[in-house]
Chain A
Amino acid sequence: MSCMYSFGSNGQGQLGLAHDRDVDTPQRSILAGDGRMSKIACGGNHSVVLMSNGTLAGCGDNRRGELQGECALQQVRGWTAIEVPAPVVDVACGWDTTVVVDTQGHIWQRGGGRYEFEQRQLRLDPAGGRIAVYGCFQNFVVVQGSQVYGWGSNTKCQLQARKCRSVAEPTLVCDSGSVAVDYVTMGKDFLVVVDKNGRMAHASGRLPAGFHLEQQEERVGLEVRCMWTSIHVWDTCQSTVESFGRGTHAQLFPQVGVGVPIADFTAGSEHGILVTAGQEEPHPHYDVHCWGWGEHGNCGPQRGSQPGLQLVGRYATRPRVFGGCASTWIVLDQR
């Protein structure tokens, strides 16, 4: 069973709480049932949870059909089951859209003014290995093996070299060759492809200031995360985190104050979430910290964009963390 905690921006009920006020400390977000939660995906004002049995639940904004079929239903208050064409293997959200990939390799999209799931033309091979979908803002990509297919906005050439307003259907963005793609991390108008060796295999779009792929291509063992306008690189071999971007609101990773091993990190729209592993006996623990733009309480009670990490929670077991648009999610799995 998974327990979810959420905080931050909640104007459309996207935190899955019983109200729609912003909160600045982790609040229990109650999902019916006792299943294990696989993933939380967040759009501009809606949130979707994928359960390990392939079902989906969502909450928040439905003005553009992000979650439900009724156009009169402007907001989904509290976690509500989302009807899906078939069991889901992965889910991602764009600004006002939701995309799922089902067990048969079909890709379905809703939202953006479409009030039901519509099938994309590409079908992936359900027997061809892991399929994953990633989304941010106006773009989605699906990954299988060494191939990345993307669609959506191409105004910054994030999908293909020839600039155009949008690419309607999944189109090959890159092929990483002999090493399979591990994941894709996406900003507002750029994306970075990371292979199974932890190497950045591809980057395209309006890349943040100071980031040059050719300076990164030889590095391995990297964990890369993107906020909307910045890239953050955790070198797991060197135990360093490097950030690229303007950092006008303290989004760049604070280089001081991390005296314990990093266990995980992720990013929301303009804030980061860091998990550290405290080793002190007899009570080893995990701390969750936030940094960056926290005006909606998504980095904790100190809402200014002050530099440094803000401790938001301490847990006896390793938490999983997810970031949304000015929202932060902490998941604890209970045996």
Chain B
Amino acid sequence: MSTYDEIEIEDMTFEPESQMFTYPCPCGDRFQIYLDDLFDGEKIAVCPSCSLMIDVVFEKEDLAEYYEEAGIQPPEPIVIAA
């Protein structure tokens, strides 16, 4: 499976209300992936309007700040390396 591009998580837009990350797709829609899906190890964000996908580049510990921003707890504690 060949993804269209690799995008760092810091370049995506996080919507705390829906706990979703989005990023513009060249078709005009936006790639989407949920915070919990990233936590579960999913790295592919998909566009609802076309077949393109992107690889989200992140470390699990990056997710802690987004859970905090959304005001919710991660499914299990995130261990942050010293």
Residues of A with Cβ closer than 8 Å to B? 9, 11-12, 14, 44-45, 95, 137, 155, 228-229, 246, 248-249, 268-270, 293, 295-296, 325-326
Partner of A9, one of B5, B11, B28: B28
Contacts of A137 on B, CB cut-off 8 Å?
Answer: 24
- If A11-B49, A296-B50 touch, does A326 touch B11 (CB 8 Å cutoff)? no
In whole Å, how far is A14's beta carbon from the nearest beta carbon of chain B? 7
Q: Is the CB of A270 within 8 A of B26?
A: yes
A151 to B28, CA, bound (A): 22
Q: Is the CB of B50 within 8 A of A155?
A: no
Partner of A45, one of B5, B28, B51: B28
Total CB contacts across the A-B interface at under 8 A: 43
Query: B interface, how many residues as a size bin?
Result: 10 to 19
Q: Is the CB of A11 within 8 A of B26?
A: no
Chain A interface SS verdict (over half):
loop
Residues of B with Cβ closer than 8 Å to A? 2-5, 10-11, 24, 26-29, 49-52
Leading 8 A-B pairs by shortest Cβ distance: A269-B26, A270-B26, A45-B28, A326-B27, A325-B28, A248-B2, A44-B28, A295-B50
In whole Å, how far is B48's beta carbon from the nearest beta carbon of chain A? 11
In whole Å, how far is A228's beta carbon from the nearest beta carbon of chain B? 6
A95 to B30, CA, bound (A): 11
Q: Is the CB of A325 within 8 A of B4?
A: no
In whole Å, how far is B32's beta carbon from the nearest beta carbon of chain A? 15
